[in-house]
Homo-oligomer: A and B are copies of this chain.
Amino acid sequence: MINVVRARWVLPIEPWQVVHDGAVAFDDDGILAVGPAQDVLADYPEATVETFDNHALMPGMVNAHTHAAMTLLRGYGDDLPLMSWLNDRIWPTESRWVDPGFVADGTRLAAAEMLAGGVTCFSDMYFFPQAAIEVAQRYGIRIMSGQVVVDGRTTYARDAAEHIEKGLAVIETHKNTPRVHFALAPHAPYTVSDDVFGQLVELCERLDVPMHTHVHETQAEVEQGLDEYGVRPLARLDRLGVVGPRLIAAHAVHLTDDEIALLGRRGAALVHCPVSNLKLASGIARLTQWLGAGIRAGLGTDGAASNNRLDVFGDMRVAAMLAKGTSGDAAAVAAPVALHLATMGSAAAMGLDQQIGSLSRGKSVDMIAVDLSGFELAPIYDVGSHLVNSAGRENVTDVWVDGNRCKRDGELTRDDPSELAALARSWQQRIG
């Protein structure tokens, strides 16, 4: 069966264009055509047509760095300096509470929040990934499941070897599951030894998956790395063979010009997490320089404990305005660049740009409709800049992932909002 979704505006994102009265045709195998509604309807006269008179149709937002289950710790320890936030609040709470039930419920809350807000795919890094994958399957969101590795004991595994072993088992179990992608995810240079990084480089090669990790999030981390290893963490990772096209480095707030150039040369990907970086006082990553160096750059919310919204629309706007404000150039990260960052950019950073990230023939139907008819959004002179600067996740009414409808006319199709809130409250009572 062929479906056509027709909308007042269609933004394929790559190539950049705004099709007025556009349409997307698709079947079970993916997108068949994108273009002016007249042409698409003529090519597919038998299609079932759905029309969105007030909407912009665009690829789903891709959240390239998060810890989904941490929704259960949303706002738990706000306004604390980073180290007391981690040492006094987050880490003790995680060691007390994190188990498959926590991950299932927290990821469910995250999946609902992200789908409702137009996020169709997320790159996750958390314990008990099997539980997160099952939730993603059930609620329909696309996941890149990062198999977390820490050099030490967590509630998930007793040491690096067991983290790796469990991760490999998860990958084996789900290697053919639709809408599930994988990464190996050593937590960070300061929690993973050289040996383990070395093993993971080989495993990534063998399994043909990316390596998702935190890099240079804070100045303290860089200094600690210098103290301990005599070189900055990125240099150490480079020596270990980590810095290449498989690397997805989240945060990267503190990079020298040379480090940016190196990452560009090596073909590595970076994930910008502007809201988390501001809120935890980590600093402001140099997005315009990244883009200038040709780095594959994506956008991530980070976990809800440090954001506190899994809101890629909002973070896209912050990314764009921060780039302007810190570069002194109001034309920096213009709307087409910001929208690209949050969709194709993230997809490319995750190595998924052949499958998602734009509306184009052969890609998966990961797509959202954004209602721009509200008076808060009027008038509309430029729909692209409107999507960045005026609209928000609250304007997303319809969401498709892999052709399945996950939100319809403002309502989640696969979950019950009141159940979700109750679920979160029950954890709040236990944890709080």
Q: Return the contact of A308 from the options B81, B374, B389 (Cβ within 8 A).
A: B389
Interface stretch (choices A126-134, A224-232, A271-279): A271-279
Q: How many residues of A contact B (CB 8 A)?
A: 70
A265 in contact (CB, < 8 A): no
Whole-angstrom distance from the CB of A283 to the nearest CB of chain B? 6
CA distance A257 to B139 in the complex (A): 53
B residues near A431, Cβ cutoff 8 Å: 379, 381
Interface positions, chain A 88-127, Cβ under 8 Å from B, are: 109, 112-113, 116-117
| CB closest residue in chain B, given A85 | B330
* Cβ proximity bits A276-305 to B, threshold 8 Å, 1 near / 0 not: 011111111000000000000000000000
Q: Give the residues in chain B near A170, CB-CB below 8 Å.
A: none
Check if A137 is an interface residue, CB within 8 A of chain B. no
Asked if A169 lies at the interface with its beta carbon under 8 angstroms from chain B, I say no
Inter-subunit contact A329/B381 (CB<8 Å): no
CB distance from A78 to the nearest CB of B (A): 4
> Considering the chains assembled together, what is the distance between the CA atoms of A245 and B344 in angstroms?
51
A378 within 8 A of B: yes
| Residues in B whose Cβ lies below 8 Å from that of A179 | none
Of A331-339, A345-353, A356-364, the one with at least 4 CB within 8 A of chain B: A331-339
State the CA gap A113–B74 with chains docked (Å).
Answer: 28
Contact in complex: A329, B428 (CB < 8 Å): no
Give chain B nearest CB distance to A296 CB in angstroms.
22
In contact, B374 and A417 (Cβ under 8 angstroms): yes
Chain B residues, CB < 8 A from A277:
325
Contact for A379 among B330, B373, B392, B427, CB less than 8 A: B427
**Residue among A82, A282, A283, A376 having the largest count of chain B Cβ atoms under 10 Å:** A376
| Distance between Cα atoms of A330 and B432 in the complex (Å) | 21
Let me know if A394 is at the binding interface, CB within 8 A.
yes
Contact residues of A between 408 and 432, Cβ < 8 Å to B? 417, 420-421, 424-425, 427-428, 431-432
1/0 contact string of A304-326 vs chain B (CB within 8 Å)? 00011100001000100110111
21 pairs across A/B with beta carbons < 8 Å? A74-B379, A78-B382, A78-B388, A81-B330, A109-B378, A277-B325, A280-B324, A281-B325, A281-B330, A281-B332, A309-B392, A314-B314, A318-B321, A374-B421, A378-B428, A379-B424, A379-B427, A379-B431, A380-B428, A381-B431, A392-B394
Beyond the given pairs A78-B388, A279-B389, A392-B392, 4 more chain A to chain B contacts, judged by CB atoms under 8 angstroms and listed by A's residue number, are A72-B379, A74-B378, A374-B417, A374-B421
User: Which A positions have Cβ atoms within 8 angstroms of B?
Assistant: 71-72, 74-82, 85, 109, 112-113, 116-117, 275, 277-284, 307-309, 314, 318, 321-322, 324-332, 334-335, 373-382, 385-386, 388-390, 392, 394, 417, 420-421, 424-425, 427-428, 431-432
